[in-house]
Structure 1
């Protein structure tokens, strides 16, 4: 065992002093763009504060009586947890106080929230404050999903500034609150980077630079409890994954039931995540603006693919209203190609 003389770290022990925090990362990215005003960076600082706050309350939820239902339902009919309400309010206040967000769409709010006092704000944000909150009381990983759009030139913030396809996203990502808080963020045309919250420093630290999806992987993630309602093409595709042709192995099934957690695992290990539209939900269950489009941007920028149940590129789908829904298949490039083949 290494010993010390009391003057510093143990012999042979290396301390990394070149730590890339999210704050440093954003600042360095800003310098690369001569036209940058700093507004986007300030908006991201407000976002990371909300992520840190949500992570804090989730860790303490059982201790301070924040588990259980809040006694109301959100816009999509899901029963709200106490933490859903708190996280939504945290998000709203973070966006309001940043002064850089003109309007906010949240899963927990029926209508768009306009920040009229933010007269010089140039951005519109869509978010799901806590995705998978039905798993909260069981201690299962949940997360926040977000997408950022830039307002049209001369606009003060209108519905049209957010009802745009994912190809118009400036940035997107998600935070997963599990054994540790993991933040994944990507910008238009950029790489995908993963950060881990260091609770001691109170900072997100770059731990997964330039994340890339494996080209293929024999893992699938889907709620097979809905298979009764799937159409025949979807059934044939998933049945094919369970077969082992030529003495090979069938695919492994991995389903957590929290989209952010399933997506993060798929991003790290490869495979495919699916939530297809079905006879029970003909349009699908996932919301385009703050679930499908941001995730699709992350997966495409990491070398994967994302399509809807019509096999259309998810990023090109235009939402008809702020809570519009879609089916979704996303994951490794070759795995999504296999899904497309069954739908031809």
Structure 2
């Protein structure tokens, strides 16, 4: 490969990332406006055995159509589909179309997660070139990580979007935590770590049932989010390609750390598109403490 080939490839990937981010941002108001009439279960389950909501299918179909039509996107994969879809030539895009769709019924926060990989799927964590999430909260925002930096945008109802914060960084003094999974199923190392966190008066519980909402709290206030390994689910609940890698990439780009309990999420390797992983993300010192418990 020549230097020119390398430059052309880098520029091609950068252009594809720009296009993916633009499509996701501009699709967000349409996804959000389509939620009220789709708060019911769809027929069937996703590949992880979870009941699909009509909103999951709607968001997935919309994103597959829009992202799959982009020049520079070669593969589209979704939590809602068993296999990846060949849509052309270029980067691989993995999507969780509606993270936290179980929050539709109580009308709580949810989001969309996107990861762009330079490699075939299932990709390795170090193949990720950009990641983003949209948060459907009181306002619609989007966090985008690429080239070691995170930018936060506000997305307007007309599908335009503006920069809110450049170079987002986790605050040095963490103040929030959120832990998933049923407490009786927590394993001893995590149970001991959680007890120490919960006894720290400087940390407050923030857990809303949609990972992206909880991760956004960590990015905003500093702290830790975990969906841990469980006695009845050693690999946890979250999917590596669709949730673990992109969230780890975003938090690390914002100066934090990620882990599966022993190493960075980006260094975890699995050969199944829908493989699961424990997820721990947050301030470095909290992740270091967490990993030390599993090393004992």
Same fold (TM over 0.5): yes
Show structure 1 runs of 5+ residues with no match. Answer: 1-32, 152-160
C-alpha deviation, 1:95, in angstroms: 2.1
- Note if 1:173 corresponds to 2:132: yes
| TM, length-normalised to structure 1 | 0.79
Higher Rg of the two aligned structures:
1
Which of 289, 293, 296 is the aligned partner of 1:342? 293
Aligned residue number for residue 11 of structure 1: none
Change (3 A) 1:220 1:43: closer
Aligned residue number for residue 193 of structure 2: 237
Task: Find the aligned partners of 2:235 and 2:96 in 1 and give their Cα distance.
Answer: 19
Aligned residue number for residue 105 of structure 1: 77
More strand as a share of residues: 2
Report which stretch shifted further, 87-96 or 267-276.
87-96
C-alpha deviation, 1:219, in angstroms: 2.1
Change (3 A) 1:207 1:34: farther
Given that residues 68 and 76 in structure 2 are in contact (C-alpha distance below 8 angstroms), is that contact kept between their aligned partners in structure 1? no
Alignment of 1:61-140 (within 5 A): 61-62=35-36, 65-115=37-87, 118=88, 121-140=89-108
| TM, length-normalised to structure 2 | 0.91
Which of 145, 154, 170 is the aligned partner of 1:196? 154
- Note if 1:273 corresponds to 2:225: yes
- Note if 1:332 corresponds to 2:275: no
Which of 257, 266, 275 is the aligned partner of 1:315? 266
The SS at the match of 1:179 is coil
Change (3 A) 1:46 1:313: closer
The SS at the match of 1:138 is coil
Show structure 2 runs of 5+ residues with no match. Answer: 1-5
Change (3 A) 1:43 1:191: closer
Change (3 A) 1:57 1:187: closer
Cα RMSD over matched residues? 1.9
Task: Count residues with an aligned counterpart.
Answer: 289
Hey, which bits of structure 1, 4+ residues long, moved more than 3 A?
33-40
Aligned residue number for residue 20 of structure 1: none
Aligned residue number for residue 283 of structure 1: 235
